Structure 1
Amino acid sequence: MTADLRELSQGDWEQWYRTLDVAFGGVPEAPEEIELWRDLTECERSIGAWDGETCVGTAGAFSFRMAVPGGAVVDTAGVTMVGVAATHRRRGLLTAMMRRQLDDVRERGEAVAVLTASEPEIYGRFGYGAGSFHHRMEIDKTRVGLSVPPGTDDVTLRYAKPAEALPLCEAVYAQRVAGRPGMLARRPGWERLIILDPPADRSGASPQQCVLAERDGEVVGYAFYAVKPEWDAQGPKGTVKVQDVEALDPTAYAALWRFLFGIDLTSTILAMNRPVDDPVAQLVTNVRRCDLRTRESLYVRLVDLGAALEARTYQTPVDVVLDVDDAFCPWNQGRWRLVGDPKGASCKRVPDDTPADLALSAKELGSLYLGGVPLTQLTAAGRVRELRQGTAAEAGLAFASPVAPWLPHGF
């Protein structure tokens, strides 16, 4: 390595962020976006790699709280802003930054680290496994209808200015967090990301719009969206670009989607990030015309293996010994006995000569952690070795989450 790593200072932020910007192609972001990320950057958790006076590498972390199976919301490091200058690739900079960062996460007492990956191949070697997925939906609403549940008509809808409605929407969002693994409890300042709407990024769409769902005068749901008008010789064929939809009950959720389907002069609904178990797939009359595409989203890394596995609960009783390979975080290496059920769990280190039931790496544990990747699938792929017959099926039921994990927004 030919660069020095040091904590980011406020005075170096602009050069540091420009290094990151160039590493991701060099297209300048809108001033509003740059300002937001500057305000959200935790300099004490950010690393710069410096070759003399030049910044050649970046990495940061946000202090998050993330929901895990069972409803607990745990301290989590949100790894972000990772980049290396093209002039300094293959010199060990990324490995050095990941090493320092995970050591820092451990010292802070955060049992879990998460990230979103620009390229899936990069982070597996550091123990991150794909732990959640999302759907992209492009719905041809000229050929797809909705079948809504009884009571939907009892929900009233009203337009609201996004910035003015934000506190009401955040109150709904906060009630939703514990019920879905992978969701982030938004700290002050992060609500600004939800209404970030630079004109330069709209690609011909309208400014962001907001609709609130109410029942008995209380806000029970919301939708943020934009409309991109388009016409051809046959008439209007605009697109409703769905940014976020949340609701506290099925009828409010259905009412919001019925509204989005009913927007005039549009023929397509485009939603780029929805849970893979989104109820809207059961409301539509023709799911084939919804063009569902799945993509991995949140990558998970257990930093303190025992504490992380104890922080969540398990759908069915489980008692297994895990033989864990974790060369990058050697404090996790070895055998661990996990005993858990829907009420809680214990995960303690056991002697290395204790008979193990499953053998796996830190990467596979990361994939399993939020309950969205089947243990039997990993076993069938040869990524987990079953050392006691039948363990994968038994433990797989315990690790699974009844609600698919989902990351509602990037970082």
Structure 2
Amino acid sequence: MTTEPRVLGPAEWDDWYGNLELAFGGVPEAPEERALWRELAEFDRFIGVWDGERPVGTAGAFSFRLSVPGGAIVPTAGVTMVSVAATHRRRGILTSMMRRQLDDVRAWGEPLAVLTASEPVIYGRFGYGVGTYAARATIDTTRVRLTVPEGTDDVVLRQADPVKAVGACEAVYARLVPRRPGMLARQPGWEAVPLLDPAGERGGASPMQCVLAERDGEVVGFARYAIKPEWSFAGANGSVSVKDMGALDPVAEAALWRFLCSIDLTTSVRIHSRPADDAWQHLVSDIRRCEPTLRDSLHVRLVDVGAALSLRAYQAPVDVVLEVADAFCPWNEGRWRLRGGPDGATCVRTEDAADLALSVRELGAAYLGGVSLTSLAAAGRVRELRPGALFATSVAFGWAVAPWLPHGF
């Protein structure tokens, strides 16, 4: 066999996807989920490695548009469905696919690549850094109370069919995208992803439900959720699982959280993936009773350092020379002068002396504003070469809201 990847043909999808399922444990996905991913797949951006007629390596890259600090929407490769057959490990297949993929992304003119990792240990060696985190929690609604802002009672909540309400929900979502880095500007077809609700994966919970928040007849927020009824000798002990939500203002958001935390016959609200700085943490009376945890979410890779750093804004003025190491994509290596601020930036090659030294992995981690360069420096991953450069640059790279990926891909 050869480890050289080639582009996937539509007729090869079923075998290719079957190998992906096998690599992730062999449990077939629900037919509707598998069909949706096939519909969304861009076959000229999906590759594989074959041993004879059998696919033994898979990888794809959706053409995404990602929000970055400052509100710009940047073309981005969404790396997905990466697998190597258990029988063909340690033969260089993954490295060959990553090599081909990043070369392709560069040729497509997309300055960023992002992924969610089944095993985070894998992708650092290819230049990816953890750029966003997702918050999980379980709110004990028998002990926790919410304090909501004035005007919450003016928000009208209306139950809606999730499919019929998708247009209203997407309109809210689209307005939220430029406000928070890390969000995906959903393109046609992707509105179906948050609606995926295979019956076999509900674990005893209800089908997805939806509630809309309205003010003066306008939809200003939504929540998609499921309820799992449970009973004990003492009575009802059900739980609410929050699938997806969004709101255009604090009052609408508070109204949705109050609703979710007060549904009859339930005693907890389970939050699976929300921003690290999400507002509910400041509405609850006892954060300890919510057991919040963080988990890595979006891994970010700068494919074109100059273009990527020029496309985001910076929360404070910055003028710094970065010495960048990138062994896997050597076209990024060398010194780059970054000048910018809240209104935009430029980043070009320079021969000037470097102020900071770091690898492209650290730039990926800090790119969306959720990981500080000072924290990376404390771990020995960023070196300050000019006194004062680290603090000033770290402040500039930060952002007022935490970056967040709203759903997987």
TM value normalised by structure 1:
0.99
Aligned match of 1:280: 280
Aligned match of 1:102: 102
Distance 1:336 1:4, change over 3 A: closer
CA distance in 1, matches of 2:47, 2:254: 45
Question: Which residues of 2 match residues 34-113 of structure 1 at below 5 A?
Answer: 34-113=34-113
Q: 2:355 aligns with which of 347, 357, 360?
A: 357
Secondary structure of residue in 2 paired with 1:164:
coil
Aligned residues: 409
Residue type at the aligned position of 1:251 = V
Aligned match of 2:193: 193
CA distance in 1, matches of 2:136, 2:53: 43
RMSD after superposition:
0.7
Per-residue Cα deviation, 1:202-239 (whole angstroms, up to 9, x for no partner): 00000000000000000000000000000111111100
Contact persistence 1:4–1:51 (CA under 8 A) = no
Aligned match of 2:300: 300
CA distance in 2, matches of 1:288, 1:383: 33
Aligned match of 1:333: 333
Residue type at the aligned position of 2:165 = A
CA distance in 1, matches of 2:282, 2:36: 37
CA distance in 1, matches of 2:113, 2:340: 22
Where does structure 2 lack aligned partners over 5 or more consecutive residues? none
Secondary structure of residue in 2 paired with 1:276:
coil
Secondary structure of residue in 2 paired with 1:163:
coil
Superposed displacement of residue 4, structure 1: 3.9
Secondary structure of residue in 2 paired with 1:219:
strand
Aligned match of 2:27: 27
Aligned match of 2:248: 248
CA distance in 2, matches of 1:406, 1:157: 26
CA distance in 2, matches of 1:95, 1:210: 43
Superposed displacement of residue 381, structure 1: 0.7
Residue type at the aligned position of 1:139 = I
Aligned match of 1:406: 404
Residue type at the aligned position of 1:47 = I
Query: 2:135 matched to 1:135?
Result: yes
Aligned match of 2:231: 231
Residue type at the aligned position of 1:132 = T
Residue type at the aligned position of 1:206 = S
Aligned match of 2:5: 5
Query: 2:375 matched to 1:380?
Result: no
CA distance in 2, matches of 1:57, 1:259: 46
CA distance in 1, matches of 2:19, 2:3: 14
Query: 2:210 matched to 1:210?
Result: yes
Superposed displacement of residue 32, structure 1: 0.8
Per-residue Cα deviation, 1:238-297 (whole angstroms, up to 9, x for no partner): 000001110001110000111101100000100100100000100111111111001110
CA distance in 2, matches of 1:245, 1:16: 34
Residue type at the aligned position of 1:312 = R
Q: 2:391 aligns with which of 383, 393, 398?
A: 393
Superposed displacement of residue 391, structure 1: 1.2
Superposed displacement of residue 150, structure 1: 0.2
Residue type at the aligned position of 1:273 = S
Superposed displacement of residue 65, structure 1: 0.3
Secondary structure of residue in 2 paired with 1:404:
coil
Secondary structure of residue in 1 paired with 2:179:
coil
Residue type at the aligned position of 2:367 = Y
Identity percentage of aligned residues: 65
Dislocated runs of 4+, deviation >4 Å: none
Secondary structure of residue in 2 paired with 1:134:
strand
Where does structure 1 lack aligned partners over 5 or more consecutive residues? none
CA distance in 1, matches of 2:303, 2:198: 36
Residue type at the aligned position of 1:148 = V
Question: Which residues of 2 match residues 309-348 of structure 1 at below 5 A?
Answer: 309-348=309-348
Per-residue Cα deviation, 1:346-381 (whole angstroms, up to 9, x for no partner): 100112xx2111000010000010000011100111
Secondary structure of residue in 2 paired with 1:254:
helix
Per-residue Cα deviation, 1:133-163 (whole angstroms, up to 9, x for no partner): 0110111010001000000011000000000
Contact persistence 1:2–1:91 (CA under 8 A) = no
Superposed displacement of residue 345, structure 1: 0.5
Query: 2:159 matched to 1:155?
Result: no
